[in-house]
Amino acid sequence: PSILGGLRDLIRFNLFSNFLTGQLPLEIGQLTVVTSIDLSSNELSSGIPSMIVGLSDLVNLSLAYNGPIPDSVGKMLSLERLDLSDNNLTGTIPKSMEALQYLEHLNLSFNKLAGEIPKGGPFGHFNYQSFTSNDALCGSSRLLVPAYRIGPDSFIFSHKTWNEN
């Protein structure tokens, strides 16, 4: 709703588990001093709108149980907490997220992400729980995922090959 844009001094925006559907209103980008947005446990389909990327004070974003992961998330340089769990996300984890130097908590669990987990930036201190139940991820045995994926059904753990078939 357009009234949302009038709440310019809002610091925390929490609509957790309100059965919201569809897209986020564009006015959310006018919350210029907001530090925390929690829209988890809804059924939003639009993912993170581009105007949220410009919210420079945003440190906590939770969109668990909602729509897709955007490539632009790597531009949200103030983020300290990011929860995109249980979103049925596909594709890879954007390497741009290595730029999120303040990111202390990441939850990408229970999605369908694939490919190598980035190694730079904050990824060095995340544990396996950040990536649980993403069967096609690879990159580090420390994160309880195979070191390399060599085909659609084959992985390399250390120096041994494992085939899912």
Q: What's the confidence (pLDDT) of residue 72?
A: 82
12: exposed, middle or buried (Cβ count in 10 Å: 0-12, 13-18, 19+): exposed
43: exposed, middle or buried (Cβ count in 10 Å: 0-12, 13-18, 19+): exposed
Over residues 124-129, the mean pLDDT reads 92
Distances (CA, A) of 59 to 55, 65, 155: 9, 19, 36
Structural domains of the chain sorted by starting position, each given as residue range(s) with its CATH number in brackets: 2-137 (3.80.10.10)
Q: What is the DSSP letter of 113?
A: E
Other beta carbons within 10 Å of 35: 16
pLDDT digits (tens, 9 = 90+) for 19-28: 888 888 888 8
pLDDT digits (tens, 9 = 90+) for 78-122: 999 999 998 878 888 989 999 999 999 999 999 989 999 999 999
Please, are residues 150 and 161 in contact by the beta-carbon 8 Å criterion? yes
Residue 146 has pLDDT above 80, yes or no: no
Percentages helix, strand, coil for the chain, rounded to the nearest 5?
A: 20, 25, 55
Whether the predicted model's global pTM rises above the 0.75 cut: yes
